[in-house]
A and B are shown apart, each in its own frame.
Chain A
């Protein structure tokens, strides 16, 4: 299941609903991405982020996320998969994305969850602009994200 939305989601409620009534599920792996309050890898040296705005390509976003979910289901024996991605203005600490995978056994759940977020980062048409005291700056794609996605090719 894919959801692209402006509004926040409740990670706990999503987790509870995800396996409700499915007694063949042996494990769930769930990842939640948040807005970090600085740019870069070093909190002390990084530029503070006041907020960010996520833009997306309505239509293509859903299409790409559905393709990513279908690919995960093809690769692993999943009971279920869930991707929720937000757009619009978000502040530090806000939830951006949730991906979850459930399976009879943990290996498939862990691997599929990692796959979903890695592929989403390089294939789903979202763009972040960070708002800082120095002005607005479009986030540039990271080579590390490309490398993470390539592991699954």
Chain B
């Protein structure tokens, strides 16, 4: 699946996007985050405080329980500040 990072999550992970093949049994956003945290100290820092991280799966807002599967586009970002 494709994982995207925006704003300070991009700065902390050091990348805008990456292709991820999560371990078997990864079926939710929460489980995906647990895997991403193991990839680098930057990833661990990005996901340190989940209350300030928002997620979208295939461009729709989701939560920790939202299902994810191969081929999905999963984006992580802080609360939005447009307008």
Contact = CB atoms under 8 A, between A and B. Distances in A.
A104 interface: no
Nearest to B82: A126
B83 A127 contact: no
B50 interface: no
Contact of A55 (B6, B56, B60, B75): B6
B64 interface: no
Interface size class of B (residues with CB under 8 A): 10 to 19
Interface residues of A, number: 29
Contacts of A128: 81-82
Contacts of A122: 79-80
Interface in B60-83: 60-61, 75, 77-83
Interface string B41-71: 0000000000000001001110000000000
Nearest to B61: A123
Contacts of B75: 57, 60, 125
A85 B79 CA distance: 18
